[in-house]
């Protein structure tokens, strides 16, 4: 009976996360189109050019799948503990970078303020809490971390290449026109270090929890 209640709680939590995530993503897309400074196709490309948007889409997809599927290392890709942990790393970086650096660079108002809080604060906290409470951690390994870095690495390369082509960069710390390549590459290295630190922290926590559980069983 307890397992049924726990599984129902997981699914309800995931459903709430999915609804909030998709609401924020769709509303942000509407606001960008409504306040666009470029043609609609370019605006949409820019919309999907933000790491925040891409990561929140992945998180919303994950929440939607977890609302109907149990977490299992042999289950659907987005229902695997390793995938959920990787997304936890990505969304944690979104929250940290925005709230430590980017929050102070502008003052959104009205709906934009609500969307910003959902994408950069609410969703990261919701997903991190989900990871701590619901994700099985026995299968997480140190070797999982390296493949997790592919996504942010590809994103940075894409942003720099496209930025050089269209003269637009999604974030000020990636703006080669203002900072130059040396400073931007320095910033990227710093970001990658942050990804690694958070990944190491989560896997380390997972191993501690697993070892304690094994000790109790013994």
Per-residue pLDDT tens for 124-137?
A: 999 999 999 999 99
Helix or strand (DSSP H, E) at 34: helix 2-34
Name the burial class of residue 120, with classes exposed (0-12), middle (13-18) and buried (19+) by CB atoms within 10 angstroms of its CB: buried
Q: Which domain does 51 fall in, by range?
A: 2-217
pLDDT higher than 70, residue 217: no
Greater confidence, 13 or 218? 13
Collapse the DSSP code of 75 into the 3-class scheme (helix H, G, I; strand E, B; otherwise coil) and give the result: coil
Name the domain count of the chain. 1
Measured CA distances, 131 to 20, 51, 80, 113, 185 (Å): 17, 20, 12, 26, 31
> pTM of the predicted model, to two decimals?
0.93
Banded pLDDT at 3 (limits 50, 70, 90)? low
Question: Helices 176-217 and 150-166 meet at what angle, rounded to 10?
Answer: 170
Name the burial class of residue 180, with classes exposed (0-12), middle (13-18) and buried (19+) by CB atoms within 10 angstroms of its CB: exposed
Phi, psi (rounded to 5 degrees) for 207: -70, -40
């Amino acid at each position: 009976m307890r397992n049924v209640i726990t599984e129902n709680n997981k699914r309800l939590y995931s459903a709430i996360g999915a609804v909030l995530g998709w609401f924020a993503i769709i509303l942000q897309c509407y606001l960008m189109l409504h306040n666009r400074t470029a043609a609609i196709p370019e605006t949409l490309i820019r919309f999907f050019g933000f790491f925040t948007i891409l990561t929140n889409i992945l998180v919303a997809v994950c929440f939607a799948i977890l609302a109907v599927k149990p977490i299992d290392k042999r289950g659907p890709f987005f229902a695997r503990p390793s995938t959920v942990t990787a997304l936890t790393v990505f969304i944690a970086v979104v929250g940290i970078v925005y709230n430590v650096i980017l929050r102070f660079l502008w003052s959104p108002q009205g709906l934009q303020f609500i969307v910003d809080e959902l994408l950069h604060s609410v969703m990261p906290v919701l997903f991190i809490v989900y990871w701590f409470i619901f994700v099985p951690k026995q299968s997480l390994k140190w070797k999982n971390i390296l493949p997790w870095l592919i996504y942010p690495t590809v994103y940075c390369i894409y942003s720099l290449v496209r930025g050089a082509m269209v003269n637009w960069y999604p974030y000020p710390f990636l703006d080669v026109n203002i900072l130059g390549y040396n400073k931007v590459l320095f910033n990227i290295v710093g970001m990658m270090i942050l990804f690694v630190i958070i990944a190491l922290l989560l896997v380390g926590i997972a191993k501690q929890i697993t070892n304690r559980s094994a000790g109790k069983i013994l």
